[in-house]
Amino acid sequence: MALLTRLTAILLLILDCLGIDSKIRPRRNRAFLYLVGVCLCLGLLGAVAPQVNASPSSTSLEEYEAKAAFLFNFAKFVYWPETEISAAPTNAPFCIGVIGENPFGPHIQRLEGSTIEGRPVRISFPDTTAAIRECQVLFIAESESARLEDVLARLELFPTLTIGDMEDFAARGGMIEMFLHDNRIRFRINLDAAHAAGLVISSRLLQLAANAEELMRGQHP
């Protein structure tokens, strides 16, 4: 993952300049700093990167390599209901699903082997309602735009974090919408949708959202 390697190197340099030893940071703080670093580095890269239509295949690969990292790190700042975590066996996988045409290519599979909430990450491509409901995180691909409401309806009251990058994903009921702005990956959060599913999103993640001002008007963990 060449782009992530470069981002990680830049982030470690930032942490070193700040006098922060990344090896001794608490896990959730390290993930937060990593996500901040990814946002910052993508912003810096955006200033010198070619326009998206200048090299479609190369841009798409790097874009979705970065989005796979965002997908993983978003989950680090979401709190699932205690019953969801405690009811599962200790070795139960943390399932990240992709529904529709997979835009990540091989990058999404490279998340396997990592852990979230102490559980090993498993990547799945669910094609039934039951399989969708087994996912803690579900990325809904743009190919599913026409049936987005149907997919979300099948997850109603289930604690599944829904993420997508189709236009108006959050406005249509998705929880986290990633989008490109000036060649930079940004995201907006639908907090009502997350709360309705019993999920709590950390205020540290809310502060990084494009709609942060709106989100931070209330008090959130």
Would you list the domain boundaries of the chain?
A: 2-215
**Of 50-59, 124-133, 139-148, where does mean pLDDT reach its minimum?**
50-59
Provide the pLDDT confidence category of residue 22 given band limits of 50, 70 and 90.
Answer: very low
Contact 165, 46 (CB under 8 A): no
pLDDT value for 129:
96
Mean pLDDT within 26-42: 49
pLDDT tens figures, 136-175: 999 999 999 999 999 999 999 899 999 999 999 999 999 9
Residue 6's pLDDT is 45
Check residue 86 and give its pLDDT.
Answer: 58
- Write the pLDDT tens digit of every residue in 61-112: 789 999 999 999 999 999 999 876 656 677 789 999 999 999 999 999 999 9
Q: Are 136 and 161 in contact (CB under 8 A)?
A: yes
Proportion of the chain in helix, strand, coil states, percent, rounded to 5: 50, 20, 35
What's the predicted TM-score (pTM) here?
Answer: 0.74
* Cα 170 versus chain centre, distance: 13
What sign has the CA pseudo-torsion 71, 75, 81, 86? positive
Nearest to 102 by CA among 58, 140, 158: 140
Cα-to-chain-centroid distance, residue 189: 11
Handedness of CA 199, 204, 210, 216 (dihedral sign): positive
